[in-house]
Structure 1
Amino acid sequence: MQLVTNLRLAAGTAAQHLSDDPALLLLQISRRLPARAVQAVAQRVRRSSRPDSTWEPVLLASLIGGDQPDVIRRLEAALTRGRLSAEHSRALADIALVADRPDLADAFLVLAKGARRIRAAQARRFWYSGAMSAAVGILENAPNAAERQQGRRLAADLHILQGWRPELGAVRYEPLPRRVLHVLTNSLPHTASGYAQRSHSVLLAQQEAGWETLAVTRLGYPVQVGKLAARRRDVVDGVTYARLLPARLAATMDARLQQQAEALLSVALAFRPAVLHTTTHHVNAIVTRAVAEALNIPWVYEVRGQLADTWAATRGPEARNSERYRLFQEREKEAMLAADLVVTLGKAMKGNIVAAGVPETRVLVAPNAVGGIFLAEPLPAAQARTALGLDPEGQYIGTVSSLVAYEGIDDLISAFALLAPTHPRLKLLIVGDGVSSPALKEQVRALDLGGRVIFTGRVPRSKAHLHHQALDLFVVPRKDLPVTRDVTPLKPVEAMACARPVVASRLPALAEIVDEGVSGLLADADNPADLAEKLGPLLASAELQLLMGSSGRRAVLETRTWAANASAMSAAYTKLMEKAH
């Protein structure tokens, strides 16, 4: 029965996305299928087509294959040649948006006048740039029923950003002490992101500190990300994750959040927590706040990122002046001010929260930290490489990261290309996956570095520490953006626990982690030449690597453990409960 429910959920989600943004849906589906098979099909489609073909499957094949220049070349050629039908122009506009070229999308939309569902394409263009009211307005009186339905969905999303909240009546309730209910976006075992890893580590440490924990993920997860065999509960390392998987999801996002709030309230009444704890972004906050107010118990908002800035980073500097960005920031501020306690990752993020008006006494810094196997004495690099089937005699630099644009992995590859000619034993290890993976592999191919750059894809959690330990130097080449200046990542902390020097971009959030000249070095962001210049001397000195690695491990074990975070949170929870009574 659960499988039938899941299939209905998945079908409904796919149908909605197919209607709202078919090009983006096909790209997302491709990322969830086996990469090797997808790439093989994409290459076959491209090879069987003319070099100047603008047939939509060929363009999508180039996108899937990571060949962004080929997509842009074909789109620009189509505009130059002209003679495009309105329907074809509308389809090319959608592909241009997925390729992050709104300027080309605008040109195609001019040629698409008279196309079926042209308003839907125009709405996607407005939505892309954050002009949410314009996107809703253009669909309000659309002649097509599917477009009107899309308009209602977009209007609901805008309604949430304008301040809508779920409504729950107060209930008679008696909490049990030392119980905390976490409300999460995603989790292990279905998602292996840094977010999921941090959540799991927090839950484990709280259990070890004497708290009873339960985690609940968002409505429809993980079925909505393709996990059709998902169950209503998963237990990982003794941590329980509950799923909210109704037979049917409401048609619009505001109605779904009302549905989620009601389901979460039912879980809370059964579990009887004394504290609710949720994480960015504001959608989690409004649901958790509604349940906390219905139960009259405190709630905690953990600010792990600046998701408005993450979105803006993919759109260009003008996005920070958009309606979406402004409303998103307002809702985040509202959530922080309403929470009984705000938890965050570092000093830079705390400064932003206090600047938003949250009293400093209500902000707790719980940095990204280590525990479990990362506390054990690390293996020598050669031994870790042998365990992973890598050349134990080689030199390795690399990273463990989500492969997304702001992480700057393209700059790491460019820096490696500068070092490779003078370091014949040097190899680059890139551990992780993400939307930038195809483009990065294409960059390696174009630089003729294929035999010296290793992409592992996602690796099992049980082997993550071995990949850190297989490296001589761990690199964090993040771009210089608002989100990267303030948000501290987890992986370099784990690398330092493994006694590996860290070379990172010179950004405030990374300078909080890397003690320059002691545990690693800082290089200018967006500058592969400077990154290569910083890596070179470290590669030449095993003694310096050992010294910096030992210093970094010592600092992490003294200041950044999940047990220490759990102790600080436990004390903060206790104060909240005392204040509530």
Structure 2
Amino acid sequence: MRILHVLDHGLPLQSGYTFRTRAILKAQEARGWQVAAVTGPRHGLAPDAVESVDGLTFYRTQATRKGGVLGEVGGLAAFARRIDAAVDAFRPDMLHAHSPVLDAIAALRVARARGLPLVYEIRAFWEDAAVGNGTGTEGSAKYRVTRAMESWAVQRADAVAVICEGLRGDLIARGVAADKIVVSPNGVDLTLFGEPVARDPALAASLGLEDAETIGFIGSFYDYEGLDDLIAAMPALVTARPKARLLLVGGGPMEVALRAQAAASPAADAIRFVGRVPHTEVERYYALVDVLAYPRKRMRLTDLVTPLKPLEAMAQGKLVAASDVGGHRELIRDGDTGTLFAPDDPAAIAMALAGLLADRSGWDARRARGRAFVEAERNWSSNIRRYDPVYQRLTSAALMDTACQHSPASL
């Protein structure tokens, strides 16, 4: 089986998107399949037209220099041409496009021209992601157009993969046949992220966390992550638990505003910003944290989409506490593998975290259950099997179509 993946961006860039992509491609290689990828113009400038990163082959599309609608149209055309050239070079059995929807549209052009099956994988609806990132408005003209494009692409793809039940349910409500959709959930590559490292006393001391009860967030600082609510919860939490400290590792669009909010907080001395760290260093910071907190705000994006970070935390044997939104409920069983609290409510966050810190009697068992959940249900070495029946069905159908086209007409 030869699979050409069509991506918005890829390695060596680091994001949740590229980490999931790497996990998929590496797991497929481990199953004996041959894989390569094409990245779109939004990947940015690349030193070579074809690059090998971490043992994976990436065909690059030249970044467009124009903005606006003309830039998008030009970029889409260039992307389709690059996918077509990659098909010539790699000779895949199928195309596997990953959201956003422009990737699927570019891939669809090539798939139809080349007689290749197309799987379209949706990690989030582009229009909802724009609302969550603060670059779009729900119900706007752009939102409606993007949603229509998504529905158009889904109807024309040969199969659709989604990362969670929330997205699957939304597509079914749009009229997409349930048997056309496979759920391929977020997972953790336990060969890379499965063995917790020892706590580094020097690192803890440099951050003033030697004797702290540490709440942590490690990820991107987007508005929908609700980090402003977590910072707002800190005065009440420190009142209840004087040793409580908040460790924020990462960066993003909200970083400046969050730093200003923390500086003005009565609990400013209890809040630490680390900034972005290389992915190879992330485990050192997980090792300093007692409870990982994920206070996502309630909106369509967070209700429909499951995040990756809580799974990484559970793989590291950490306690997780998260807002009670749909995406978290698919990953966390309240009181069993983690704690859920009311979203958009700093008082509820403070109460939930204080309760966890006050009673450690069940910590070891809860952490073990969280780790077991990741191993059994969110491990990429087993997750990857969900693609098998889809790929086999589509490649078999493509072979039959080819055979019919070349067979003599019956009399």
Q: Does 1:394 align with 2:394?
A: no
Whether 2:274 is the aligned partner of 1:438: answer no
Q: Does 1:296 align with 2:115?
A: yes
Q: In structure 2, what is the Cα distance between the partners aligned to 1:364 and 1:285?
A: 16
Amino acid at match of 1:216: V
Query: In the alignment, is the contact (CA less than 8 A) between 2:44 and 2:63 conserved in 1?
Result: no
Deviation (angstroms), 1:357 = 1.8
Q: Structure 2 CA distance, aligned partners of 1:306 and 1:385?
A: 42
Question: What is the RMSD computed on CA atoms of the aligned residues?
Answer: 2.2
| Cα distance in 2 between the residues matched to 1:181 and 1:245 | 18
Question: Given that residues 60 and 82 in structure 2 are in contact (C-alpha distance below 8 angstroms), is that contact kept between their aligned partners in structure 1?
Answer: no
Structure showing greater relative contact order (alpha-carbon pairs closer than 8 Å, 6 or more residues apart): 2
Which has the larger share of strand? 2
- Counting aligned pairs with the same residue, the percent is 33
- Shift of the 195–220 alpha-carbon distance from structure 1 to 2, 3 Å rule, reads closer
The residue type equivalent to 1:414 in the other structure is A
Of the three residues 18, 26, 46, the one matched with 1:204 is 26
2 CA distance for matches of 1:417 and 1:201? 39
Counterparts of 1:147-226 in structure 2, within 5 Å, are 178-190=1-13, 192-219=14-41, 221-223=43-45
Corresponding position of 1:260: 79
- Using a 3 Å threshold, how does the CA distance of structure 1 residues 573 and 416 change in structure 2: closer, same or farther? same
Name stretches of at least 5 consecutive residues in structure 2 with no aligned partner. 400-411
Deviations for 1:294-345, whole angstroms, at most 9, x for unmatched residues? 110111111101221232346699x433221111111101111111111111
Residue equivalent to 1:238: 55
Determine the C-alpha separation between the residues in 2 that align with 1:238 and 1:445: 44
Task: Please name the residue that 1:270 is paired with.
Answer: 89
Query: Which amino acid is the alignment partner of residue 187 of structure 1?
Result: G
Q: Residue 9 of structure 2 contacts residue 40 of structure 2 at CA under 8 Å; is this kept in 1?
A: yes
Residues 393-435 of structure 1: CA deviation (Å, up to 9, x unaligned):
3221111121011110001111122212332322111111101
Give the TM-score of the pair, scaled to structure 1: 0.65
Q: How does 1:69-468 map to 2 (within 5 A)?
A: 178-190=1-13, 192-219=14-41, 221-223=43-45, 230-245=47-62, 252-313=71-132, 319-373=137-191, 376-379=194-197, 383-384=199-200, 386=202, 390=207, 391-468=209-286
Q: What's the counterpart of residue 550 of structure 1?
A: 368
**Mapping of residues 480-499 of structure 1, within 5 Å:** 480-499=298-317
2:329 matched residue in structure 1 = 511
Q: Secondary structure at the match of 1:276?
A: strand
Deviations 1:29-83 (A, max 9, x none): xxxxxxxxxxxxxxxxxxxxxxxxxxxxxxxxxxxxxxxxxxxxxxxxxxxxxxx
What's the CA shift for 1:533? 0.6
Residue 66 of structure 1 is matched in structure 2 by none
Tell me the CA shift for residue 387 of structure 1: 5.6
The answer to whether 1:569 aligns with 2:387 is yes
- Contact kept? 1:374, 1:498, Cα under 8 Å: no
Evaluate the alpha carbon distance shift between residue 375 and residue 314 of structure 1 in structure 2; reply closer, same or farther with a 3 A threshold. closer
Structure 1 residue ranges without an equivalent (≥5)? 1-177, 224-228
In the aligned structure 1, how far is the partner of 2:365 from the partner of 2:51? 42
Whole-Å separation in 1 of the counterparts to 2:278 and 2:134: 32
Task: Pick closer, same or farther for the CA change 1:286–1:385 going to 2, 3 Å.
Answer: farther
The letter for the 2-side match of 1:237 is D
Q: Which deviates further from its counterpart, 436-445 or 346-355?
A: 346-355
2:259 & 2:304 partners in 1: Cα distance? 28
Whichever residue aligns with residue 201 of structure 1, its letter is A
Distance in structure 1 (CA, Å) of the matches to 2:135 and 2:100: 21
> Aligned equivalents of 2:201 and 2:319: distance in 1?
17
SS at match of 2:80: helix
Number of equivalenced pairs: 395
